Homo-oligomer: A and B are copies of this chain.
Amino acid sequence: MKLLLTISYVGTRFHGFQSQPGLRTVQGSFQEAAERLFSKKLLITGCSRTDARVHANNFCLTAETADGSPLPAIPPEKLPLAIAPLLPPDIALLSAKRVDDSFHARYDVEYKEYVYIILNRPVRDPFLADRAYHFPVKLDAFLMDCAAKKFIGRHDFSAFMAQGSKVVSTVRTIKSFDVVRDGETVRITVSADGFLYNMVRILAGTLVAVSEGRIEISDIEKIIASGDRRLAGATLPPDGLYLNRVVYRQTPPEN
Instruction: List A residues at the B interface (Cβ < 8 Å).
Output: 8-10, 55, 80-81, 84, 89-94, 122-127, 129-131, 136
Contacts and interface: CB of A to CB of B under 8 A. Distances in A.
B130 A92 contact: no
Contacts of A92: 123-126
The 5 nearest A-B residue pairs measured at CB = A89-B129, A80-B123, A90-B126, A10-B126, A92-B126
Nearest to A91: B126
A9 B91 contact: no
Nearest to A131: B127
Given A10-B129, A129-B10, A123 B91 contact: no
A41 B167 CA distance: 58
A84 B8 contact: no
A56 to B, nearest CB: 9
7 contacts: A10-B126, A81-B122, A81-B123, A81-B136, A89-B126, A90-B126, A92-B123
Contacts of A81: 122-123, 136
Given A92-B124, A127-B131, 20 more contacts: A8-B126, A9-B126, A10-B126, A10-B127, A80-B122, A80-B123, A81-B122, A81-B123, A81-B136, A84-B123, A89-B126, A89-B129, A89-B130, A90-B126, A90-B129, A91-B126, A92-B123, A92-B125, A93-B123, A94-B123
A44 to B, nearest CB: 18
A10 to B, nearest CB: 5
A126 to B, nearest CB: 5
A56 B248 CA distance: 41
A80 to B, nearest CB: 5
Contacts of A10: 126-127, 129
B8 A125 contact: yes
Contact of A84 (B55, B93, B124): B124
Contacts of A93: 123
A8 B125 CA distance: 8
Contacts of A130: 89
Contacts of A124: 84, 89, 92
A28 B126 CA distance: 17
Contacts of A80: 122-123
A182 to B, nearest CB: 15
